[in-house]
Amino acid sequence: MFALFAADAPNGYQLAGDINEVYWGTAAFIVLCAVGYKLAWPAIVKGFKARTERIEADLNAAQIARENAEAELAAQTADLPDVSAEADRIVASANETAAKLKTDMVAKAHSDAAALKERATADIASQRNQAMADLQSEVTQMTRGATDAVVTAQLDDSAQAGLIDRYIEQVRQLG
């Protein structure tokens, strides 16, 4: 610390050569600070206040803009239809359509089954009639054959019984 005040300068002090220069420099510094404080400081304070007021005004404007945007959003949201009610209506409509389709499909299946049953009954009747016609034709041919055999041959009781037994056997084989 004592080295700071050591005699490096020509006058034996750490300061510049002339002590008057130090006094005048200090006085000029104090005058400049006083003038700066008197003239510049109010402008600086005024600038800070203006900046603060401008920031506050911007914040207030932003707050008002935010409130307006939120009010507009609320108004637009209120104008939107109720989505859940619309979804419920769509689901109810789909369920109604599905129930109608199910009823229609069941009715169609019943009518198709009835038509199939009628066709099967008609086919069975047709095949039974055909079988009866075939049987009648076969019986007719057998009767002719038996009649031919009776007419061409002398029948005694045992021959006639044999013919009848064979005829009955042939009918059984057909049935």
DSSP string across 68-131: HHHHHHHHHHHHS--HHHHHHHHHHHHHHHHHHHHHHHHHHHHHHHHHHHHHHHHHHHHHHHHH
pLDDT at 135: 80
In a domain, 104, yes or no: no
Among 55, 81, 107, the domain boundary falls at 81
Average pLDDT, the chain: 81
When pLDDT is averaged across residues 55-72 and rounded to a whole number, the result is: 93
The total number of structural domains in the chain stands at: 2
pLDDT at 8: 55
**Do 132 and 65 fall within a single domain?**
no
pTM of the model: 0.35
Given a cut of 50, whether residue 1 has pLDDT beyond it is no
Q: Can you give the length of the chain in residues?
A: 175
How confident is the model over 92-123, as pLDDT tens digits?
A: 898 999 889 989 888 888 888 888 888 889 88
**Do 77 and 135 fall within a single domain?**
no
pLDDT class of 150 with cuts at 50, 70, 90: low
In a domain, 90, yes or no: no
When pLDDT is averaged across residues 29-46 and rounded to a whole number, the result is: 90
User: What range does the domain containing 28 cover?
Assistant: 1-81
In a domain, 91, yes or no: no
